[in-house]
Structure 1
């Protein structure tokens, strides 16, 4: 085991001094004998040898120190650049260089653990940020983007490469949001702006965060387009139901007041008024039943009985049920089916409900003398049912909303109904694993409703297959009442 550096240097210099002293002693002794010239040379040789040994020892020690310190310096540079380093090993032990190496190794290990912890946190934060449904952008003091997540890229319709480092004004392109960022203060409340080519309704919240001496601003984008749309549908529903309730209730009140004022004494008038009151009550009952029906379908409490059967025959039965109403309104109802059976896995009762609803709508919105055509088009994997009319048609902006709950194209016409029929149709067709859509060239040019049903599969995965008997009984009663109202005109 070698002594510390200072000890080894002292030994080297001691060796040199002792050698010199010994040589000097030899010189003095021999000079006393009068042999000066011979021993002077011996003295110089001894001095040279001692000096050489001392210099060699010192050089060896110096090399060890320099090599160890150089290795530490190189590892320190690697550590400063963020590279992982291996523990430092030195040739000596229990000296100053060894102590320095141990301290360096401890410092490097601690720093490496902290770096790994920070990296783990960074990866977790990045995963959370990218997994968020809301968009997030982080900007620095100069209002340049330093971070952006995937949701923000989709909302703003930009890519990360073109956004990172860019001015936030170039990315968001909305003066209200940029104005908030320039103020560098938290928003008092949510700001709703329109962003993107599709003019999405986006709620923006700005939160400043102090990071050391710098200020970062976190911008949160929440796409509330669907929420606003749902709110619009809800308002439409409340307004529509209120109107549909108010109209029959007002009629009932008027009829009752008229009977109280003396019309009850006239049996003919009284009977007519009572029939009208029955009609208004039936309309109220139909609206409530439709609301309950849609609620049961959407909550999965409806029982479906899928069996393989003749699709064309099932549609033909529903169309024939609607023929009396079409004839009363002087509308030609045409059914076109292939001569051979069209096999499919269907719930005949629910399909009957779908066709009756669509044909009823077609007849209701087709003027006298018009035509309603129902055609069955068989296919290998899907069968198509088309119900076309020559009626009032639908504007392009309204076609996409026809299957929304509570939506009515034109309330000013005062047409009866709650706007729930097509929403029910959509859910029942989806339960069959199919799809339904509408087309119209425009107002006054008629409309066509298309249904596409699979030829050999049953309900879509996840569709309900059972419900309570009471619910099924209510459904049957609702269907019989609705069909009676339709058939009686």
Structure 2
């Protein structure tokens, strides 16, 4: 009925209440700490997941900047739902790096091609900077000039090319920015080098490109051509002048004297025969050089070749007071050759030996096996050949000073050389002036 009938008093000790309060507070603090820890870990994981592609992208950029394209250079795409922009950035980066890689591969291929071309060129190529220091040099430079096989980069042009004309050509091009061409003769090597220089400002200020061409062979061939024209003119002029003189003599009245006319006509016939022989040898040499003369190759006895040559020309040696010896085993292994052509070679060499060996001298025809080949030799005790003329004796129409007085067309040794080479062999000569000569040639065995 709302009336107070009494009072109930509940009481706890203050100390116990404070303990319970502290326990509750500790529980709340621990719970909050765990919640914060869980939230922090989650945030870190989410942040790490979101930033991992950026870290990989940064690492990839660092690798690319160091010049390395390895199998792990591409960053991976993110799997986070909110990383669309990052994925686009990674895709763009991957595409860009693939394009760069393709371009670098193409550049590497072109560089290798250029390097191979420079390595294989017969002409020397140099790039020289403003100070005269060589920045590029291909192997042909050292080979052409007979320099030690070493790296020329970093050396000066004066160290590598001591001839002053090289330095002058480089200097004029560097200073005047004009292309220069000069022919430089290097003694005592007897080299003829064409030096062409051009400004190369695209490489650097004052840079010069130098191209070296070895024209020694061309100069040699030009000398041979001039000598050939001079010699053939001489060989034709002498019989033609004789024919003209004999004809004029007949026209002036020698025809009325039958004995004299007969003598002159015989001389005319001899001169015509000489001209005909020279023309025939020229035509034969031309056919041999062009490969138009087929070789009838078969096993042939070197001994028989020497013996047949002696049978044919031995009478000439006897008339000249010469002793001829054959030094050859009759059972020597055969060679694979055209016997008639080898007889022609031995005959030409034998004929020269007869011509240039004084009476009382000796000629030796020999053949012996050597390393799967047969070495032929025609040696004499004649006047010999000067050392400076030995390299040219196999040229057509070339005659030594002593040989000019002996007559002949000057084609015999040239024909012998080409016949031997057509058989796959080689021919050379050794001589000591006033002591005799030795002509060797090698023919493969059958």
Question: Aligning the two structures, in what range does the TM-score lie when normalised by the shorter sequence?
Answer: 0.7 to 0.9
Query: Alpha carbons of 1:248 and 1:84: their partners in 2 closer, same or farther (altered >3 Å)?
Result: same
User: RCO higher in 1 or 2 (8 Å CA, sep ≥ 6)?
Assistant: 1
Residue of structure 1 in register with 2:7 after alignment: none
- Corresponding position: 1:345 with 2:336: yes
Residue of structure 2 in register with 1:172 after alignment: 161
Query: Alpha carbons of 1:383 and 1:102: their partners in 2 closer, same or farther (altered >3 Å)?
Result: closer
State the Cα deviation string for residues 156-203 of structure 1 (Å, max 9, x = none): 3446753122222222222211222223234343433428x8443222
TM-score, length-scaled by structure 2: 0.82
Residue of structure 1 in register with 2:249 after alignment: 258
1:129 to 113, 118, 128: 118
TM-score, length-scaled by structure 1: 0.76
Structure 1 residue 376 displacement after superposition: 3.9
Residue of structure 2 in register with 1:283 after alignment: 274
Residue of structure 2 in register with 1:406 after alignment: 397
Residue of structure 2 in register with 1:437 after alignment: 428
Residue of structure 1 in register with 2:136 after alignment: 147
Residue of structure 2 in register with 1:119 after alignment: 108
Which consecutive unaligned segments of at least 5 residues does structure 1 have? 1-40, 458-489
Indicate if the aligned counterparts of 2:169 and 2:180 stay in contact, CA closer than 8 A.
no
2:410 to 389, 410, 419: 419
Partners of 1:160 and 1:344 lie apart in 2 by 41
- Please give the residue correspondences for 1:201-216 in structure 2 after superposition, counting only pairs within 5 Å: 201-211=192-202, 214=205, 216=207
Count of aligned pairs between the two proteins: 415
1:237 to 223, 228, 233: 228
Partners of 2:271 and 2:306 lie apart in 1 by 30
1:87 to 68, 71, 74: 74
Query: Could you say what the CA RMSD is over the residues aligned between the two structures, in angstroms?
Result: 3.1
Partners of 2:185 and 2:58 lie apart in 1 by 56
- Corresponding position: 1:194 with 2:186: yes
- Please give the residue correspondences for 1:299-338 in structure 2 after superposition, counting only pairs within 5 Å: 299-338=290-329
Partners of 1:280 and 1:365 lie apart in 2 by 23
Structure 1 residue 235 displacement after superposition: 0.9
Partners of 1:400 and 1:236 lie apart in 2 by 14
Which consecutive unaligned segments of at least 5 residues does structure 2 have? 1-24
Query: Alpha carbons of 1:333 and 1:268: their partners in 2 closer, same or farther (altered >3 Å)?
Result: farther
Partners of 2:231 and 2:402 lie apart in 1 by 8
Partners of 1:95 and 1:214 lie apart in 2 by 50
Indicate if the aligned counterparts of 2:124 and 2:211 stay in contact, CA closer than 8 A.
yes
Indicate if the aligned counterparts of 2:381 and 2:437 stay in contact, CA closer than 8 A.
yes
Indicate if the aligned counterparts of 1:311 and 1:346 stay in contact, CA closer than 8 A.
no
- Corresponding position: 1:448 with 2:435: no
